[in-house]
Chains A and B, each alone.
Chain A
Amino acid sequence: MATFLGINFFALFGQLLIGLINGSFYALLSLGLAIIFGLLRIINFAQGAMYMLGAFVALLGFKYMGMNYWVALLVVPLVVGLMGILIQRFLIRPIANEDHLYSLLLTFGLALMIQGLFTHWFGSSGQSYPVPEALKGGMRLPFMYLPNYRAWIIVVSVLVCFSTWWMIEKTKLGVYLRAGTENPQLLQAFGINVPLIVTLTFGFGVGLAGFAGVMAAPVYSVSPDMGSNILIIVFAIVVIGGMGSMGGAILTGLGMGVVEGLTKYFYPEASATVIFLVMVIVLMIKPSGLFGKNA
């Protein structure tokens, strides 16, 4: 019963699961990018480095301070978010009025530095982080074996993504955020501290990447280049989804993970390129992206 019409369902569902897990990380990272872009018009090239930083803070906290996974899940996004706040406050704000390409180049330089520092300290080989005790083991489903931690990743990422989306699209805080993008002067005139909102938002977007880093630590090996590998894929996803849309970032992130998983089963040679191919096709048909407004 494991195969039907020549399709091995065990293998297919296995790849779909891996795809959904990758997709969860794509969604978290591209949502962070979309939030930062939405408010600051900045492409944060250091988003991958922040993801890597999250995984490393969790790993080092565990190794040297015995920080367990659950504490890390709360503390790490705060640490990484604080890092983001410092970066925004002291490096990006001074050039906020220059061409936006400069902030892209600045964050690119930062990413190089951070990745270089970690390679220098820890070497380029990966290190492993244990799966938390409570999430060990798995469930036996009709077609596949589902490890608990992997199910956890998907459920929690989707929850975090959609509650973020809900917060920005549906609450009063979100209204302020979006108004800050549309007309900062007006919002300032209402007595709202726009620079503070901007800084906090940058911190939040970067914190999402740190959160993804903790989540990823038990499934991928923790290494200095884990961020730069995923970053370019996330950029492609952002182009496919359309920069203006947070919902687009989440759905495209998850969707592209699944597309990648399916490709790995049916035509593994193309699995590294399929997302970029989708991007080319989307660009030809709808240059503003699937969910994007015309920019």
Chain B
Amino acid sequence: MRSRLAILVLLGLALAAPLVIYPVFLAKVLCFALFACAFNLLLGFAGLLSFGHAVFLGTGGYVTGWLMINSGLTPEIAIIAGTIAGGLLGAIFGKLAVKREGIYFAMVTLALAQLVFFLYLQAPFTGGEDGLQGVPRGKVFGLIDLADNQTMYYFVLAIFLAGFWLIHRTVHSPFGQIMKAIRENESRATSLGYDVNQYKWIAFIISAALSALAGSTKTLVFELASLTDVHWHMSGEVILMTLVGGVGTIVGPLIGAGVVVSMQNYLSGGELGNYLHIIMGAVFVICVLSFRSGIVGQFNKFRRNNF
């Protein structure tokens, strides 16, 4: 009952937020929050650290951007296409990567993502270094014009909630339980007769598709798809968001994304812009050394100990 009330309050805040805060910024936070939640589905619930997730964000962005510029399709179709493209790429990468565990898995995903980075750098349809600029936002179902930032925000909010709900459902389904079992004790899960790699693979595909959904939406918000979204630094950023918020918690990545995106926006505007990478690196080190459960994890601990 209390959690239901909390959700209603949060939803109310999300609906009212653009009256106070710049809607494009909010939309950016939501896109990254979805990305981080999708990433956390793998790391937090299957124990798989992907170091190449930017590739799915970027792929969704390029496909959606290209379709919006060249095909005249409506934005919802372009977004679905971007999501499917990311899911397909995830199916290929996942098939290769789930054969290895732990740090090997991280390195394989990183190297695969870098392969695609170079392909996108040279491919004709991505605009190379310039990226795809001036992507039109279009009209949803041919009716709702996204040109208005406020409308765009509510559209992103709807997508985010759908994605978030899907992740929530996945985690709490029998499938999610098996994933957790694999994370806790893989050999036991195998001996119980589960095809462990098959489950990891499916989790990878869902995570990749949702990351691509985030990327597709982000492209519409900024009217731009670029190489920065595919670069491995972006893969690092999403790890940082998840770590700051709390690995393996449902709302952690959402809060982490909010914190990191705000930090970046604030720093890059001011005179501290030069220090951005240094500060991000320092946050990483501090989180790992003394703050491993993240904001939400620490909060939960605090609540358990005191109430």
Q: Interface on A for B, CB 8 Å cutoff?
A: 41, 43, 91, 94-95, 98, 100-106, 108-117, 119-120, 232, 235-236, 238-239, 243, 269, 272-273, 276-277, 279-280, 283-284, 287, 295
> Do residues B118 and A110 form an inter-chain contact, with CB atoms below 8 A?
no
> Do residues B108 and A105 form an inter-chain contact, with CB atoms below 8 A?
no
Interface flags for B280-307 (1: CB within 8 Å of A; 0: not) read 1111110111001000000000000000
> Do residues A43 and B111 form an inter-chain contact, with CB atoms below 8 A?
no
7 new A-B contacts at CB < 8 Å, known A113-B277, A113-B278: A41-B103, A43-B107, A101-B103, A115-B281, A120-B275, A232-B111, A236-B107
Contact partner, A112, options B104, B280, B288, Cβ 8 Å: B280
Name which residue of chain A comes closest to B247, CB basis. A101
Q: Interface on B for A, CB 8 Å cutoff?
A: 49, 96, 99-104, 106-108, 110-112, 114-115, 118-119, 121-122, 232, 236, 239, 243, 274-278, 280-285, 287-289, 292
> Do residues A243 and B111 form an inter-chain contact, with CB atoms below 8 A?
no
Contact partner, A108, options B96, B100, B115, B284, Cβ 8 Å: B284
Contact partner, A101, options B102, B118, B121, B284, Cβ 8 Å: B102
> Do residues A104 and B275 form an inter-chain contact, with CB atoms below 8 A?
no
Task: Return chain B residues, CB-CB under 8 Å to A276.
Answer: 111-112, 114-115, 118
Task: Return chain A residues, CB-CB under 8 Å to B96.
Answer: 280, 283-284
- Label chain A's interface by main secondary structure: helix
- Please report the C-alpha to C-alpha distance between residue A91 and residue B232 in the assembled complex, in whole angstroms: 24
- Please report the C-alpha to C-alpha distance between residue A235 and residue B109 in the assembled complex, in whole angstroms: 10
> Do residues B281 and A98 form an inter-chain contact, with CB atoms below 8 A?
no
- Please report the C-alpha to C-alpha distance between residue A41 and residue B102 in the assembled complex, in whole angstroms: 11
- Assuming A91-B285, A113-B282, A280-B96, is B239 touching A243 (CB within 8 A)? no
- Please report the C-alpha to C-alpha distance between residue A270 and residue B281 in the assembled complex, in whole angstroms: 32
Task: Return chain B residues, CB-CB under 8 Å to A232.
Answer: 110-111, 114, 232
B111 CB, nearest partner CB in chain A, Å: 4
> Do residues B110 and A100 form an inter-chain contact, with CB atoms below 8 A?
no
Contact partner, A117, options B102, B112, B121, B278, Cβ 8 Å: B278
- Assuming A232-B110, A280-B115, is B102 touching A100 (CB within 8 A)? yes
Task: Return chain A residues, CB-CB under 8 Å to B49.
Answer: 101, 104
> Do residues A283 and B115 form an inter-chain contact, with CB atoms below 8 A?
no
Task: Return chain A residues, CB-CB under 8 Å to B106.
Answer: 43, 101, 104
Name which residue of chain A comes closest to B239, CB basis. A105
Name which residue of chain A comes closest to B97, CB basis. A283
In the complex, 29 of the A-B residue pairs with CB atoms within 8 angstroms, ordered by the A residue number, are: A41-B103, A43-B106, A94-B289, A100-B102, A101-B103, A102-B288, A104-B49, A105-B239, A105-B287, A106-B285, A106-B288, A106-B289, A109-B280, A112-B236, A112-B278, A116-B276, A116-B280, A120-B274, A232-B114, A232-B232, A236-B107, A236-B111, A239-B104, A239-B111, A272-B118, A273-B118, A279-B115, A280-B115, A295-B101
Report the 5 A-B pairs with minimum CB-CB distance, sorted nearest first.
A109-B284, A112-B281, A113-B281, A116-B277, A276-B115
Name which residue of chain A comes closest to B276, CB basis. A116
Name which residue of chain A comes closest to B48, CB basis. A101
> Do residues B278 and A239 form an inter-chain contact, with CB atoms below 8 A?
no
B25 CB, nearest partner CB in chain A, Å: 24
- Please report the C-alpha to C-alpha distance between residue A116 and residue B280 in the assembled complex, in whole angstroms: 9
